[in-house]
Amino acid sequence: METKPAIICHLDMDAYFAAVEIRNNPHLRGKPVIVGGSPNSRGVVSTCSYEARRYGIHSAMPSAEAYRKCPHAVFVHGSYSAYTYTAERLRELLAEFSPIVYPASIDEAVVDMSPVCDNFSQAAELAVEIKETIRSRLQLTTSIGVGPNRLVAKIGSAMQKPDGLTVIPPDQVVERLSPLPVGAVWGIGPVTQQELHRIGIEKIADLFASAKSKVLSSLSGLIEHVVERLTEITDALELHDEDYLEKSMSHSETLAQDIYDPEQVRALLLLLTDKVVMRLQRKGALARTVGLRIRYKDWQTITRDRTLAAPIQDFLTAYQTVCSLLPNSQIQRRGIRLAGVRLSNLDLICPPKQIDLFATSSSSDSSSALSDAIRAVRDKYGDQALRRATALIAPH
């Protein structure tokens, strides 16, 4: 029996954080809105509205530079709880259209339309319905790409932003993608682009041509791999495809002023660990590796990590591990301008807990119950509803 090819839909929410802020505060509509740090701080732009992008503002730009480009922009610190809440509603909505939905990130999702569509014409009609439902229920817009595999669908979702729809059937892949720059291919970053440009490959058409001519280069393997992924006709997706599971989770904070007090740094790390562990728990995941990132006053950055004997999901173990990685003497001498906490080596499918028949203590159960209670309150009232006391002295 012949396997049915996949019809893949990739959704990319338009200026997501800014769009949620504007939806929740209609007075911001039509204004250049920047979500990120204050222009008087060392913060950076997380995202911005399309009105702000007209001034050349983009993600990861220092907030001070964004202010210089657009002094009348409205800076919003942002509410991660609002973004995660809306993302959950989006996933629930998408599950009404297909039984297979992957949350690729907080503002992206992949939907396998294969179980509900027989061809790309039907998929295009369904994509329009998804867009209209998102606009009606969430008051947000999304750009959608539909293709024979996830890479083509992701490229398509970026081709007509904002509020776009691009459908690329298998027989149109080469024609539709050829004029695009190689940087449009997800996974080809600036460094790889430079190397490709060096050997005369600037557009996706050049990739296709190079793969056929078997160009001799250290990048030949990469070129063949990318072209194979662009032109493959995939089977319907498996429900737990590892390609679309998050490989790590992290939170970091750039400080308005350098700090030299290890106690303040530990308070900041407590706040950051609390945030990332909450994400881990909401994902239903376990982490085996805990990492610390520190940037000193002189901009030197260090990263340290520790892989644990068993995967974890609890806050206390994660926090104690992070603190054990902290270079206390260096902090007092050199000062800290940024700190970050990272959980990696993830297992996104938690195994059932095994009960210890001979346990005399229920501390782990108590910790789990406490975590569940904290998460329930925050899910209902927002992440600021409960805060750990020590984190109140954390600098910002």
Residues annotated as catalytic (active site), given as ranges: 108
- What angle do the packed helices 220-231 and 150-157 form, to 10 degrees? 80
CA distance 5 to 119: 10
Cis peptide, bond prior to residue 162, ω within 30 of zero: yes
Q: Residue 185, CB half-sphere, CA atoms under 13 Å: how many?
A: 30
Residue positions counted in the chain: 396
Compute the 3-state secondary structure of the chain and give helix, strand, coil in percent, each to the nearest 5.
45, 20, 35
Q: Three-state SS for 246?
A: coil
**Beta 8-13 vs 286-296: how paired, if at all?**
unpaired
CA distance 364 to 34: 42
CA 354 vs CA 286, 313, 350, 364, 365: distances in Å: 15, 15, 12, 12, 11
Q: Three-state SS for 178?
A: coil
Backbone region of residue 15 per phi and psi (left: phi > 0; alpha: psi in -120 to 50; beta: other values): left
**Tokens representing residue 52 in the block:** 């702000």
Query: How does DSSP classify residue 235?
Result: B
CA distance 9 to 112: 6
CA distance 4 to 231: 16
